[in-house]
Amino acid sequence: MELMGSTLTATYARPKTSHFLPAISTMASSYRNPQPAMAMNPSANMWRTNTYFKSSSTVPTPSSMQRDNLDLVRAKTMFYPSNRTALSTRYTPDDWYKSNISNYRESEASRNSAERLRRDTIRLMQDRDQLTRRTQESTSKNIGERLNDVVFWRSELSHEIDNMVTEIAALTDVKRRLERALAETEGPLQVSQECLYHREKRMSIDLVHDDVEKDLIREVEVIKSCQERMRRHLDRAIAQLASNRAAQHELERDISDKVTAQRIDDRCHHLRNTSDDDNILHSQSERASSHKLRDEIEILLNTTSNEMWNQFNNANVAFTNRISETADAKNSLQTHLAKTLQEIFQTEMLIESLKKALRDKECPLKVAQTRLEERTRRPNVREIEDTIHRLQERLMEAENTLQTLVKTKVTLEHDLSIKANSIFLDQEKCMSMRKSFPACPVWWATPK
């Protein structure tokens, strides 16, 4: 640690070291001697002292000198690194005092530095301990807040899953109703097409492009248009259900991740400000789209139901009017036919009367012819011939009229059969199928 700077890192008089406290040998190393300490032999010291004091009072003998030389050789060999004498290594008392004072000052400086270092170190440890506790408390608080966030978002995810499950069920129900409505439109379409097919069996003049046929064709177009719109919305409902289920799967996977600590630790390094509610926002968006689609399908079911129902009623009204018109025409034809038959009967009677009258004139004619031979100049003969001639002319006219009446009768009878066929087709074949709407539009608009 670098000990330079503020209170926590105060500057010290001593040079930087790799340890907070000085080495154990600091006090020993503070006494600096110019020469290294030497181990002394007590006997040698004693010998040297004795020799030192004796040298001033006695004169050495040869034997003592030899012994001294031997001791000097021993001392030189074992203890002294050089040939300097003992007097050359002595210090003055002033050096001794200075050395002690220097050691005292260095010791005091070292102790002061150590004391400052100890105080600053203790303060540093206390500050770091407080910082560690604050950091730990902050981390614990953050973890607690994160756990609260996880619990909150788990609750939100659970609530959103419940809403999505409800929405999926509602959309599935609407989709089922739409499928049923689409299937049930086949009945009205088949009825309309069969009515057009039956009315193609009308004969002669009744094979007309009337209002009934126009309404039936329009009815087929309306039903096919409704079917096409239903199919498009059904495809959208299927796609929306797939999107809803995908969103539900993501929510369920997210809530499963929320309950695992590994998921929390893993996501702590990759969180964004909006990462918590992405799945919820996506689910809410899909639910909004699904709800809008359900509303559109409800409107479509009501609209198509009303369109087909109204067109069905219009076609039925046209059928009723046409059947009434045809029935009136048939009644008129029957009236005319009855009168024609009566006239034919009277004409036939007239012809018979004329023929009888002609036969009755044969005898008077023979009498007149016989008398003519005798009385040629009498005008009576010419009157009978004129009468017979006029009766014959009347007979021819009556027979021609009879033929005309018979032709009229045949025409009226044929027209009556045409009208009867048309009424049968419209009333018995078509209207028998159209007494009620082939589907139930109420089911489309209201759930069962």
More confident site: 41 or 135: 135
User: Residue 126: what pLDDT?
Assistant: 92
Sign of torsion, CA 2 4 6 12? positive
Sign of torsion, CA 31 35 37 43? negative
User: Residue 48: what pLDDT?
Assistant: 45
Which domain-ending residue is among 254, 271, 288? 271
User: Residue 168: what pLDDT?
Assistant: 92
User: Residue 154: what pLDDT?
Assistant: 80
User: What dihedral do alpha carbons 42, 43, 44, 50 form, nearest 10°?
Assistant: 110
Cα 408 to Cα 423: distance, rounded to the nearest angstrom: 22
User: Residue 37: what pLDDT?
Assistant: 42
User: Residue 412: what pLDDT?
Assistant: 86
Per the domain annotation, does 77 fall within a domain? no
Residue 265 burial class via C-beta count within 10 angstroms: exposed 0-12, middle 13-18, buried 19 and up: exposed
266 and 337 inside one domain = no
Per the domain annotation, does 20 fall within a domain? no
What is the crossing angle of helices 211-258 and 93-184, to 10°? Answer: 160
Using a pLDDT cut of 90, give the percent of the chain over it.
16
239 and 121 inside one domain = yes
125 and 261 inside one domain = yes
Per the structure, the count of domains in the chain is 2
User: Residue 88: what pLDDT?
Assistant: 59
Supply the range of the domain harboring residue 328.
310-374+404-432
Position 162 confidence tier, pLDDT thresholds 50, 70, 90: very high
**Chain CA centroid to CA 274, Å:** 20
Do 237 and 289 form a contact (C-beta atoms < 8 A)?
no
38: left (phi over 0), alpha (psi -120 to 50) or beta: beta
Provide the CATH number for the domain around residue 190: 1.10.287
Position 273 confidence tier, pLDDT thresholds 50, 70, 90: very low
Q: Is the pLDDT of residue 6 over 90?
A: no
Cα 279 to Cα 163: distance, rounded to the nearest angstrom: 13
Per the domain annotation, does 228 fall within a domain? yes
Q: Is the pLDDT of residue 174 over 80?
A: yes
pTM of the predicted model over 0.85: no
324 and 212 inside one domain = no
Which domain-ending residue is among 245, 271, 297? 271
User: Residue 10: what pLDDT?
Assistant: 40
The region of weakest confidence among 72-76, 138-142, 223-227 is: 72-76
Position 348 confidence tier, pLDDT thresholds 50, 70, 90: confident
Position 229 confidence tier, pLDDT thresholds 50, 70, 90: very high
